[in-house]
Amino acid sequence: NPNVAVKVDIVVIGAGQAGLSSAYHLKKLGIAPQTGFLVLDHAAQAGGAWQYRWPTLTLSTVNRIHDLPGMRFSDAVDTSAGQVQASVAVPEYFAAYEKAFALPIYRPVNVKVVCDRGERLRIETDRVNFAARGLINATGTWETPYIPDYPGAARFKGRQLHTRDYRTAAEFAGQRVVIVGGGISALQLLDEISHVATTIWVTRRPPEFREGPFNDEAGHAAVALVEERVRRGEPPTSVVSVTGLPVTPAIIAMRERGVLKRLPMFAEITEQGVRWADGSEQQADVILWCTGFRSALDHLAPLQLREAPGGGIKMTGRLATQVAKDPRIHLVGYGPSASTIGANRAGAAAARELAPFLGLLR
Ligand code: FAD
């Protein structure tokens, strides 16, 4: 019966790194699984967005995947076999983790919309509906790829795709591929594709390479910048976009191969390719948009959490996980916590703030 809603204190939406960390900490605080809290995820299996990542993204080519609280990656997954696909290993780790801590995760359950019903939040799904006193939203960014608008995009006769559609470079063998974007994913795909195709790399700003190892200080400064933005109610920028691009052996090899010749953004897309403001043109078979993701928050639209004029959500709380407008709601893996380590910390902060706020701690 769709009019009936199951009562629960806290619903966590999403079982990626951020949702699992939240669930772990809620359980550790003594909140009862099922009646006190539960987790909903619309994926068929454990792994968060990692299960969808391209096959060549391996444990040695990711930045770094931090262990979830309470269980080491290496205790759950045998990584000795060399090139281990992140899309295989992380789901294995998350599945072992969910089991070890007996986390109450329901899948596949798709949360369609969340509405404010006064005392409780109504969470409507494709299965049953829930009436919750608090919400921890951990839905990540993978489901909302971002492609900027350029004139002529609909005219292009070739193929356009986003990072999230990428599977293998072999698909582009012998073609001319325009790769748009200056982030880590753009560079990884540029590297792979440039071995089999002609690549044209365009970015909005000249990319900033960071020599030497990435230190904690630079990381903290980068996260602090994003945190200040969301505390002011501005839309977050990605944490990685403020940390710069690490110069890895792969980058050095690309430099030597002459692949890192970057062009500024084109002004429009034509039937056959792209055209710059000065009239110069490049023919292309493919435009690959490595232009990032936005937070997947459409299901929260009826709550009207966004601020005018920028459209960001004003955040508060110790690690800026709490929505200023509605303190029953925490967003984890959002803004400053959009990394595996950030998601860990945000899950802890959200659980520790929300449980006492709802009077759940004895
Ligand atoms: P996700 O892992 O995306 O989990 C969100 C979950 O929510 C999913 O399981 C999804 O099924 C579920 N969901 C979404 N909407 C709904 C809904 N409406 N109803 C029900 N369920 C829903 N970070 C690092 O720290 N190190 C790295 O090396 C690294 N590499 C990356 C590589 C790529 C290509 C990308 C795109 C990101 C990378 N990041 C990395 C960022 C990192 O992936 C994230 O910060 C972190 O893993 C995200 O965890 P999350 O829990 O926020 O989201």
Alpha helix positions (H), the chain: 17-28, 73-76, 86-100, 184-194, 216-231, 249-257, 340-357
DSSP state of 328: T
pLDDT for the residue 146: 96
Torsion of CA 234, 238, 242, 245, to 10 degrees: -160
pLDDT for the residue 1: 67
3-state SS, residue 58: strand
Instruction: Using alpha carbons, list the distances in angstroms from residue 227 to 12, 293, 312, 335, 355.
Output: 22, 18, 12, 7, 23
Of 34, 40, 50, nearest in space to 114 by CA? 40
Is residue 5 within 8 Å of 122, Cβ to Cβ? Answer: yes
Give the pLDDT mean for 317-328.
98
Residue 240 has pLDDT above 70, yes or no: no
pLDDT tens digits for range 10-62: 999 999 999 999 999 999 999 999 999 999 999 999 999 999 999 999 988 88
pLDDT for the residue 193: 98
Residue 212 has pLDDT above 70, yes or no: no
3-state SS, residue 90: helix
Residue 287 has pLDDT above 70, yes or no: yes
Query: Residues, the chain, total?
Result: 362
**Residues within a 6 A CB radius of ligand 1:** 13-19, 40-43, 48-49, 53, 62-65, 110-111, 138-140, 142-143, 185, 296, 299, 333, 338-340, 343
Residues 124 and 112: their CA atoms lie apart, in Å, by 6
Residue 323 has pLDDT above 80, yes or no: yes
- State the amino acid at position 131 in one-letter form: A
Residue identifier of the C-alpha nearest atom 47 of ligand 1: 340
At 241, the pLDDT band (50, 70, 90 cuts) reads low
Residue 214 has pLDDT above 70, yes or no: no
User: Could you tell me the maximum CA-CA distance found in the chain, to the nearest angstrom?
Assistant: 69
Residue identifier of the C-alpha nearest atom 39 of ligand 1: 339
149 alpha-carbon distance from chain centroid: 21
- ipTM, 2 decimals? 0.98
Distance in Å, CA 48 to ligand 1 centroid: 6
DSSP state of 309: T
Here the tokens at position 152 are 């002529």
Is residue 186 within 8 Å of 263, Cβ to Cβ? Answer: no
pLDDT for the residue 45: 98
Q: Parallel, antiparallel, or unpaired for β 37-40 and 105-106?
A: parallel
Distance in Å, CA 120 to ligand 1 centroid: 27
Here the tokens at position 268 are 């429009």
Q: Tell me the whole-structure pTM to 2 decimals.
A: 0.96
Distance in Å, CA 337 to ligand 1 centroid: 11
Indicate the burial class of 268 (C-beta count within 10 angstroms; 0-12, 13-18, 19 or more): middle
**Could you identify the residue written with the tokens 């500024």?**
264
pLDDT for the residue 281: 98
Distance in Å, CA 29 to ligand 1 centroid: 24
DSSP state of 25: H
Distance in Å, CA 164 to ligand 1 centroid: 12
Give the pLDDT mean for 86-101.
97
Residue 113 has pLDDT above 90, yes or no: yes
Computed over every residue of the chain, the mean pLDDT equals: 94
Residue identifier of the C-alpha nearest atom 43 of ligand 1: 339
Residue identifier of the C-alpha nearest atom 31 of ligand 1: 62
What are the residues whose beta carbons fall under 8 Å from the beta carbon of 299, sequence distance 6 or more?
Answer: 13, 111, 112, 113, 114, 139
Residue identifier of the C-alpha nearest atom 40 of ligand 1: 339
Residue 234 has pLDDT above 70, yes or no: yes
At 242, the pLDDT band (50, 70, 90 cuts) reads low
Residues 135 and 351: their CA atoms lie apart, in Å, by 10
Residue 211 has pLDDT above 90, yes or no: no
pLDDT for the residue 210: 82
Distance in Å, CA 100 to ligand 1 centroid: 21
217 alpha-carbon distance from chain centroid: 23
Q: Which of 339, 341, 345 to mutate to test the pocket of ligand 1 (most atoms within 8 A of CB)?
A: 339
Residue 159 has pLDDT above 90, yes or no: yes
Residues 55 and 85: their CA atoms lie apart, in Å, by 6
First and final C-alpha spacing in the chain: 34
Residue 142 has pLDDT above 90, yes or no: yes
Residue identifier of the C-alpha nearest atom 18 of ligand 1: 111
